[in-house]
Structure 1
């Protein structure tokens, strides 16, 4: 915990002179996504508030915002914890992903599409794999799906899925073999990108639907073993 707090203190500069709960929540959301505060971690108001140099009220408001996003949970007389997802949570996340991501691809207009950001995410994944950094491969994978959703050109959809992808990171942090989880999707992201480049929306949607079903199965395999259905 001391190392996490020391690194969190480095984020104080990001707050600037107009410290707000939204900015604090942005910092904590990023740190949770990066795994500095793994699922199940109790977040100390005194320690985190001191590291960031913010008031207790500001920090509590940030906690409230992240609780609303399902990243934190408040337990009576115990405090605030990084949420541990249940099997049902994971299934619902993937249900939402399938509904939204497949609909985005299905609803694309006529090609060509603006795919530069999607291609950059694919290359990011390849680069991380070459370095054997499988945690970063997972991050690149989420960037790919975030950019895929962005093709819809909808700020509201982007906002909804930002929260969904943040929750997804909580699931990934429970997985004990990031290589096995993420490696197959490097090539599959490339396949989806290739289909979109050639204007084959139907093929891209089918690839994506199978991809998400396989990913759910892999994550649930770990969850049923390490977390259990009755978390």
Structure 2
């Protein structure tokens, strides 16, 4: 069993602190955001045991603060508490996948339709899909997944909503846990890369309706495929 001792850096906790958040650091919310980011980055994988002693020391927080963060993450289905065993990074199942896609269908197509689409946002999206294409051609599955996630994060950023940004961060952390179960199926990410390219092309052309409809179909298909693969 992997543990947080194996995967959690013991470097200065300021490394994980968002810019301009000095007053937020070392609160339960900050700790939750750090752990969520590490899960979203793939540093903490499903089944990893989270050691209270190691994390409280490396993050410079009390165990009570850490436990508050664990409670928040458990409510998001990102971690699981097992009596008499400890706290573990979750392994999402079919219902968790369905809930992830319920949230994504409610947010992402709306962001595409009505979000603030600046020239800078489009350039960033084009750069991301180019990264995904390069990763696909190189057979770099993890980089492909990272780029695909980054694109959909950028889609939500079009809303300009910090609340939706936080919600999407939670969703992406859960998605990373789902993707961990797909490491034996590199083709899963590959055939969605071209669909992300088409999404950005439609946005560049100003056809937001087609972009939103294509994105909705993308999300439906991704959910169906993930559920099928997890079920087998």
Give yes or no for TM over 0.5. yes
Equivalent of residue 159 in structure 2, options 124, 142, 152: 152
- Residue in structure 2 matched with residue 29 of structure 1 by the alignment: 36
Q: Once the 2 structures are TM-superposed, how far is the Cα of residue 68 of structure 1 from its aligned partner? A: 3.0
Q: Once the 2 structures are TM-superposed, how far is the Cα of residue 55 of structure 1 from its aligned partner? A: 2.8
Unaligned 5+ segments in structure 2 are none
8 Å contact from structure 1 (residues 5, 47) kept in 2: no
TM-score after normalising by structure 2: 0.84
Which deviates the most, 214-223 or 19-28?
19-28
1:73 partner SS: strand
8 Å contact from structure 2 (residues 50, 87) kept in 1: yes
Cα pair distance change 1:20/1:199, threshold 3 Å:
same
Q: Once the 2 structures are TM-superposed, how far is the Cα of residue 22 of structure 1 from its aligned partner? A: 3.4
Q: Once the 2 structures are TM-superposed, how far is the Cα of residue 113 of structure 1 from its aligned partner? A: 8.3
1:2-25 Cα deviation digits (max 9, x unpaired): 785365213535268964433333
**In 2, Cα distance between equivalents of 1:52 and 1:76:** 24
Q: Once the 2 structures are TM-superposed, how far is the Cα of residue 87 of structure 1 from its aligned partner? A: 0.5
Q: Once the 2 structures are TM-superposed, how far is the Cα of residue 223 of structure 1 from its aligned partner? A: 1.0
**In 2, Cα distance between equivalents of 1:167 and 1:50:** 25
- Residue in structure 2 matched with residue 12 of structure 1 by the alignment: 13
Equivalent residue pairs, number: 225
**In 2, Cα distance between equivalents of 1:55 and 1:62:** 11
Do structure 1's residue 105 and structure 2's residue 106 form an aligned pair?
no
1:41 partner SS: coil
TM-score after normalising by structure 1: 0.84
**In 1, Cα distance between equivalents of 2:181 and 2:187:** 13
Unaligned 5+ segments in structure 1 are 226-231
**In 1, Cα distance between equivalents of 2:118 and 2:56:** 49
8 Å contact from structure 1 (residues 67, 73) kept in 2: yes
Cα pair distance change 1:68/1:197, threshold 3 Å:
same
Q: How much is the aligned-residue C-alpha RMSD, in angstroms?
A: 2.7
